[in-house]
A and B are shown apart, each in its own frame.
Chain A
């Protein structure tokens, strides 16, 4: 059953990988045009929607989970307060755009190093406090974030409880080929019927935002992947798996642990910037306890310590609550499921997902792939040991 065996690194394997990536890229490019008008499907009398806005937010969540994965998944530092970093990034962006008239993307110049430093500071106590104690401390910290934003001293900058409407729009530059691509897609028979004929300015703005977020996310994933497959990633995994063993092998525990928090916070900050870009609004309660829980849920459901897991997790924490809220009738009965029923459905779904995929969606996907597209792993080329004094 399934495709032929392919040796790892063989031409067949490479070809399959390339085809996979091309298909993925096609989906990423085509989807915004398909759902620029909110796509909806009616299943068992419930109307479920997928909007481009949902997808953009999911992309920001993916990056947030990616950041969380660095500290919690790869280096094993249980951090339940990731929403703190995401929120800081979002507010930093909002204030810079509003009060200093920066453009959204240029705020990353401040957000990334600023949050990196903040994460390093945050990582210092984590050198001493470990495991669940660290988890609880960070969790309580996450619940503090809204009250810090509401402080009177900060309120004239942060907008206090009212939140902050960011007074800058992302308008697609004139060279953006949105219209051309849309027309081209529209001319494809079958698929084209779903693509609107002409875009309103709001729609083309949404499409532009989406692609901007996709690019930022892709850069984040690419950079993080490069960090994690290299020396740093090995060191972090070694620390997670056996701290004493890692130290015995010459890994500087303090440096790498604080580094992992710094990176995690920096990526979280980028996610915050992305959320601010997406919604054009930041409010204190968006970045509290609920987001902290959602992110950890996304990380575990997607699969800790995997990059694919961050993608799956971002989609799950965006769409599962969204669709739970939209489930309004129970098929076959006339019970109206409104208000708090959404919470019940979400809870049941979470438990069901964990039942079905206890080690996360990414690992489930990997198993499926191994079944239908088996790859024979090959031993890596013999490594050459370079003596330090050579």
Chain B
């Protein structure tokens, strides 16, 4: 039955060829892919932060980002702050919330037993998503963007907007800052020590708990930023981050779960595949399936993603 799909695709190949030779369409989809990719990359970065420090996937990351976006909405639309200031305020606020969550819900569990923690993050996902629904109701709202939608570069339908440039730029700035933080500061050193070997770090006198709390805070702040980047293109409603989360999970797996540069790379690849393959193979309803296919192929070739650390077992 999927073969039917393949056959129809091949049958309509002349149309696709038309599309393929359409440079404007290529470029337009390329730019859209970059823009989507940047947003996936930013949430994937937050996932990677938590994975690096704790070794598990925080399923509540999308929900924390959702909470952050609503805070952006409160600060900017309701309180009337300029959007950039509102985003910074919301990042700080969501970081505080994340530290609180880490302290109350995550730290009581032994860090080396991952399965209960997975359930806790799933429970948090439910709680935060529903709480957002209770507080802000389910109606859709629109959120202003930090970057304007005007296009400095335009070629027919292909527009490279300031928003795309801004989203990409924001992601690269975040990666740069994270790199400096990890490589040049004391808290970054502590973080790396904890992620490399929790027990040894503890024995060296590093306060593991507060370091992990810091990781959660940082991840939540990045998640909030990612929400502030992606939501203006969509509409703000309580399930908006769930779809982004799934693509970001894909991006994180693709890039390598413990690599920040990998997360960005993975995000861009997922974003580009989604937009290019889907347009040219006419697979609009299979956007997610194409993403799965790409991950499958990449992971078969490189089981730890593009840049993930290959774990070697010592016997």
Contacts and interface: CB of A to CB of B under 8 A. Distances in A.
A132 interface: yes
Contact of B126 (A152, A304, A346): A346
Given A136-B252, A151-B5, A354-B119, A143 B246 contact: yes
B108 A355 contact: yes
B155 interface: no
Interface string A24-45: 0000000000000000000000
Main secondary structure of the interface of A (DSSP, over half): helix
Contacts, number: 139
B127 A140 contact: no
A128 interface: yes
A129 B299 contact: yes
A358 B134 contact: no
A152 B282 CA distance: 13
A128 B303 contact: yes
A85 interface: no
Given A125-B300, A128-B300, A133 B257 contact: yes
B263 to A, nearest CB: 13
A243, A346, A349 — most chain B CB neighbours (10 Å): A346
B213 interface: no
A153 B249 contact: no
Contact of B57 (A136, A293, A347, A358): A136
A343 B133 contact: yes
Contact of A340 (B56, B130, B253, B295): B130
A137 B299 contact: yes
Interface stretch (B28-36, B70-78, B286-294): B286-294
Contacts of A341: 130, 134
B103 to A, nearest CB: 14
Given A143-B246, A354-B120, A137 B313 contact: no
A254 interface: no
B250 interface: yes
A350 interface: yes
Given A129-B299, A342-B130, A244 B313 contact: yes
Contacts of B153: none
A340 B134 contact: yes
Contact of B115 (A132, A304, A350): A304
Contact of B249 (A139, A346, A354, A358): A139
B104 to A, nearest CB: 10
Contacts of B126: 343-344, 346-347, 350
A183 B303 CA distance: 62
Contacts of A186: none
A115 B34 CA distance: 39
Given A125-B300, A133-B257, A350-B122, A358 B285 contact: no
A349 B300 CA distance: 38
A206 interface: no
Query: What is the interface of chain B mostly: helix, strand, loop, or mixed?
Result: helix
A71 interface: no
Contacts of B127: 343-344, 347-348, 351
Given A147-B286, A301-B119, A130 B253 contact: no
Interface string B300-315: 1001110010000101
B21 interface: no
Interface string A148-171: 101111100000000000000000
Given A147-B286, A153-B4, A343-B129, A130 B303 contact: yes
Interface string B160-171: 000000000000
Contact of A351 (B113, B124, B253, B308): B124
B134 A344 contact: yes
Contact of A137 (B120, B125, B253, B285): B253
Contacts of B23: none
Contacts of B130: 340-344, 347
Contacts of A353: 119
A297 interface: yes
A86 to B, nearest CB: 18
A304 B116 CA distance: 11
Interface in B235-283: 246, 249-250, 252-253, 257
A95 to B, nearest CB: 11
B119 A137 contact: no
A347 B295 contact: no
Contacts of B287: 147
Contacts of A70: none
A192 interface: no
B123 A351 contact: yes
A216 interface: no
Nearest to B257: A132
A346 B127 CA distance: 8
Interface string B7-18: 010000000000
A97 B79 CA distance: 59
B116 A354 contact: yes
B179 interface: no
Given A154-B1, A296-B122, 6 more contacts: A136-B252, A136-B253, A137-B296, A140-B250, A140-B295, A358-B113
Interface of B: 1, 4-5, 8, 51, 56-57, 105, 108-109, 113, 115-116, 118-120, 122-127, 129-131, 133-134, 246, 249-250, 252-253, 257, 285-289, 291-292, 295-296, 299-300, 303-305, 308, 313, 315
- The 10 A-B residue pairs with the shortest CB-CB distance, nearest first, are A343-B130, A347-B126, A347-B127, A350-B123, A340-B133, A340-B130, A136-B253, A347-B123, A351-B123, A153-B4
